A = this chain, B = another copy of it.
Amino acid sequence: MTILIRGGTVVSATGASPVDVLIDGERIVALLEPGSTALGADLAGSAERVIDATGKYVIPGGVDVHTHMELPFGGTAASDTFESGTTAAAWGGTTTIIDFAVQRSGERVQDGLADWHGKASGNCAIDYGFHMIVGGVDDDSLKAMDELSEHEGITSFKLFMAYPGVFYSDDGQILRAMQKAQGNGSMIMMHAENGIAIDVLVAQALARGETDPRFHSLTRPVEMEEEATHRAIMLAKVAECPLYIVHMSAREAVEAVARAQQAGANVFGETCPQYLYLSLEEHLSAPGFEGAKYVCSTPLRSRDDGHQRDLWRFLRTNDLSVVSTDHCPFCFKEQKELGVGDFSKIPNGIGSVEHRMDLLYQGVVTGEITLSRWVEVCATTPARMFGLYPQKGVIAPGSDADIVVYDPNGKTTISVETHHMNMDHSAYEGTVVDGKVATVLSRGSVVVDDDAFTGTKGHGRYLKRGLSQYLR
């Protein structure tokens, strides 16, 4: 089938211009100057379907490189399945996710990967890839890193400096995994918090009776993110491997990334919508147990200390390269409630895979970032960073027809009443934002249009990724 998206303004990472987009089957086959007659035929007439994008932006589908569907955590599991999660993503204009397959300690890497393929295969509404969490660095898992990188399309491996006893790697393990990444060209992703020290602070807080959700943030101070970020950078410098720090929330940690970048290192930072909008004072400290909705790690930071303002600045200056969601949804009932009386038992995570594109577009509306930068941090750079470009992340001939028609004059209300994620609450309940996803195409199929989901479970395919194309 051929589809012509006509009349819109195509936005790329470098600018915007009026361009018509012709799709044939799963791919974009042509970009056309509107009204040009050079190609002879009346293209609109010949296309099997015409989407009128007049007055709208035509952007590459969002690429969310940090999701956790069905992740077992703290005795429960993230509440979105690959089906519900990818459907919600599509609703919100995200057409690619990269989820984290997990090697648990004591398990083979390959078995963890097989497990994740089992969860995702045949269930996704949009295309998906995997990073691999290496939960137990040893000779076997190091060998597996080569295998996954060469044969399985998994070119990024996540390690944890947090969560001792669960995903935690010590500095020797980290160094060895980084050396392996140096060898095969893959990217190391890092959860950078000093979990060993944080565990002491958590135990001390609980012993003092400080059990409310806000203590989750107070026991994970900025210094523990800054420290781990710096440590990861130093280890990566020794190993000479590229490094990507996930879900950064503290200004001082991003400054460490910025210093490394300016020195020429391939060190990159990601933040998430929650760190740009939500805060310790306003959300995590909500009365009663309400704050539990906002428990995630790294934690929400103090608004008064200016972290939000500075994270937006870092997005402008490219000291932060990517915005992902770290989508890790848990219901309030029965899940978040596991931590009543003990914040350390609250499952960590906020679900927003559906709202990233809208929430970041607010930054365009309020002048925090430019239109091009919106597309860059939400689609183009994530795709380049993780070896999916130009298949994903750009509107270009030959690229997958993953396209969002975005209406800057629409309005979107974020609410548990209307969202499609499997969550009984929303971290942004009642927020009305400017802009609205009008139409979403995934590999040439219209999956969302006119406020209806028209996609199908199983449409989404597994993406074998190449090496990062974003290195300097």
Contacts and interface: CB of A to CB of B under 8 A. Distances in A.
A28 to B, nearest CB: 7
B33 A43 contact: no
Interface string A360-375: 0000000001100100
B30 A39 contact: yes
B22 A27 contact: no
A201 interface: yes
Residue from A200, A201, A399 whose CB has the most chain B CB atoms within 10 Å: A200
A39 B14 contact: no
A469 B17 CA distance: 13
Contacts of A18: 398
A238 interface: yes
20 contacts: A14-B384, A14-B393, A15-B469, A17-B397, A19-B397, A20-B397, A22-B38, A29-B32, A30-B33, A39-B41, A171-B196, A172-B197, A172-B199, A176-B200, A194-B234, A224-B234, A227-B230, A227-B231, A230-B231, A231-B231
A63 interface: no
A330 B262 CA distance: 36
A227 B399 CA distance: 43
A196 B172 CA distance: 5
Interface stretch (A75-83, A276-284, A314-322): A314-322
Copies of this chain present: 4
Contact of A38 (B30, B199, B200, B201): B30
A39 B201 CA distance: 59
Given A12-B14, A389-B14, A264 B313 contact: yes
A223 B241 CA distance: 14
B398 A33 contact: yes
A33 B389 contact: no
A394 B15 contact: yes
> Interface residues of A toward B: which range?
35 or more
A341 interface: no
A396 to B, nearest CB: 6
Interface in A30-47: 30-34, 36-41, 43, 46
A39 B43 contact: yes
Interface in A207-259: 221, 223-224, 226-227, 230-231, 234-235, 237-238, 258
Nearest to A13: B14
Nearest to A368: B472
A141 interface: no
Contacts of A13: 13-14
Residue from A43, A175, A197 whose CB has the most chain B CB atoms within 10 Å: A197
B17 A27 contact: no
Given A33-B397, A39-B39, A234-B224, A258 B264 contact: no
Given A41-B41, A172-B197, A223-B235, 14 more contacts: A17-B397, A19-B396, A22-B39, A34-B397, A39-B39, A39-B43, A170-B196, A171-B196, A172-B196, A194-B231, A201-B238, A223-B234, A264-B313, A316-B472
B234 A227 contact: yes
A123 interface: no
Interface string A396-411: 1111000000000000
Nearest to A372: B469
A261 interface: yes
